Amino acid sequence: MALDRVKNNRWLPLLKSGSYLLPRWPHKIRSGSLVGATKNRVGPMLERRPTPPSAIPLQKIISSLPRLFPRSIEQSCCDYRDFKADPNDLQAQLLSSLPFFPVANDGKTAKIVKTPVDDQGNYINEFTVYPTHPNSSTPMKHLILVHGYGAGLGFFLKNLEKLKLGKNDWTVHAIDLPGYGFSSRCKFPFRFARDPAELVEQWFHSRFRSWMETKGLLKTPQNNMVVAHSMGAYLTALYANKFPYDFRKLVMCSPAGICSSDPMLRKSHPPWWFQKLWDRNISPFSLVRNAFIFGSMLTSGWSYRRFGSLLGSKSSTGARQFEALHRYAYAIFNRPGSGEYLLPFALKCGGDPRVALEERLFNFEDHFKAKCDWLWLYGDNDWIDATGGERVSKLLGEWKGPKSAFNLIKDAGHHLYFDNYEQFNSILEREMAKWDS
What order do you get walking across the sheet with 404-409 strand by strand? Answer: 108-116, 123-131, 170-175, 141-146, 224-229, 249-253, 373-379, 404-409
| 183, 230, 393, 404: the active-site residue | 230
Is 27 labeled as catalytic in the residue annotation? no
Q: Give the HSE-up count for residue 408: Cα atoms under 13 Å, Cβ half-sphere.
A: 14
| 176, 373, 382, 419: the active-site residue | 382
Question: What is the rounded CA–CA span in Å between residue 374 and residue 146?
Answer: 15
What's the Rg (C-alpha) of the chain? 21
Element (H, E) at 378: strand 373-379
Is 414 labeled as catalytic in the residue annotation? yes
3-class DSSP state for residue 225? strand
The Cα angle at residue 365 between residues 364 and 367, in degrees rounded to 5:
70
Q: List the one residue out of 28, 4, 11 whose CA is nearest residue 307.
A: 28
3-class DSSP state for residue 271? coil
Question: What is the rounded CA–CA span in Å between residue 98 and residue 65?
Answer: 33
Beta-bridge partners for 373: 249
Question: What is the rounded CA–CA span in Å between residue 304 and residue 316?
Answer: 17
Phi and psi of 105, rounded to 5°?
A: -165, 155
Question: What is the rounded CA–CA span in Å between residue 408 and residue 253?
Answer: 10
Element (H, E) at 422: helix 421-436
Beta-bridge partners for 250: 226, 374
Active site residues: 230, 382, 414
